[in-house]
Amino acid sequence: MEKTIKMNSNLRNFNIKFISTEKINYTSKDIKNYFKFTPNKEIIKKTTKFKSFKEFETFLSKLKKGDLLFVENRFTTEDKHKSYDLDLFEKYKVNTIFLGEDPWIKSNFKKSVFVSLVRILNRYILKFKKLLRNNNKPYVPNFITGSGEQAKKAFYKKPTAHNYINLPSLWIDFSKKKNKTNIITYVDENIFYSRDLILHKDNSKKSSNTNQFLNDLNKLFDQIEMNTNFKIVISCSKKQKKYDNDLFNNRKIYYGRTLELISKSKLVLGHSSEALNQAIFNEVPVLCLRHKTFGFKRNFTIESKSIKLFNKNSVFIEEHIDSQNDLDLSIDKRFYKNILHDYFISPNMKFQNFSKQLKTKIDNIKLIN
């Protein structure tokens, strides 16, 4: 939420109220498990949480013509609840801004024909599933946001709202300058659990043997540090509790500073975290890591991320340790630039963060009361 609209924002024409339908969409147990390993200070408190459809409808029915609703995420209402929210938005003529979906990133056949073909097949399967659950809802939002040239082109080819708001991507911190230091950042994804997997009752494990993975990972770290003379630091999400045990052989661990560390790094190591996108803006080489204890789906996601965003194949940790090959610290600057402008920020747009530019756009919106 903080990436879209800051809790302490002051808007020119609107007062801000944060709301959530999480208690409608999920059980109390689901929500409790989701936040089980999240530090209390990272759980947003100043939010009105509707307990029933009736409460939500009552709230919407009291909105005025001059009010505006920013809809950040409606995946669950669309996927599981037959888009009940759209029915209500239409019924009460609610003015809305929808956070646009990230555009599909084109395949990179030069790096992998197999991955590219599977991605294309999966894309059409998802489109077909969406078509099956489409209930032909009549509601069209007033505004929809998007980032990069591909999202803009897609909107004007087939509008999904009355107006389009072109913004920098919320996945990149554009305030982080290209200020390199002699560090390598490993973007940790917590091998033990995932809040999203827990919420969606996905029992699949990130690794079938966490001890083996961590042992191999630290061997790789040792090898890289010896070959480069750069120290590896570990970057973890501030939305997870701090590790009790020393998992990374006394390496420095930072919480909540991932994008900053990436911007300062000589190299970034990771798997498939969205935080890796930061490296595109800061022109940092990325090495995406697979492991044989990961499932096929996870390894495929890692390889897919690596070739479509960084124009490089990912590597198996075990094979890299055995081969003793040197790391490829090069980047394809032209490829990075094209990806940046196609999917994250349009050319000639000011390097500001999503939340700052969204605030400016909303301040210029005037609805008739």
Q: Where are the domains of the chain?
A: 19-171+347-363, 183-339
pTM of the model: 0.92
Q: Please report, in tens digits, the pLDDT of each residue of the chain (369 residues total).
A: 567 887 777 888 898 999 999 999 888 998 888 888 888 888 887 899 999 999 999 999 999 999 999 999 887 777 666 788 999 999 999 999 999 988 899 999 999 999 999 999 999 998 887 777 666 667 899 999 999 999 999 999 989 899 999 999 999 999 988 788 899 999 999 998 888 877 777 778 899 999 999 999 999 999 999 999 999 999 999 988 889 899 999 999 999 999 999 999 999 999 999 999 999 999 999 999 999 999 999 999 999 999 999 999 999 999 989 877 777 788 999 999 999 999 999 998 999 999 999 999 999 998 766
C-alpha distance from residue 67 to each of 2, 12, 137, 142, 181 (Å): 21, 13, 22, 12, 47
| Angle, alpha carbons 331-336-337 (nearest 5°) | 130
Q: Hey, what are 60's tokens?
A: 């919407």
Q: Hey, what are 13's tokens?
A: 């024409």
Cα–Cα distance between 282 and 264 in angstroms, integer?
Answer: 8
Residue at token pair 């070739």: 307
CA 203 distance to own-chain centroid:
21
What are 184's strand-pairing partners? 232, 267
Domain at 183-339, CATH class: alpha beta
| Angle, alpha carbons 342-346-348 (nearest 5°) | 140
Residue 285 amino acid letter: P
* Strand intervals (E) in the chain: 19-20, 48-49, 69-71, 96-98, 143-146, 163-166, 183-187, 231-236, 253-255, 267-270, 286-290, 315-316
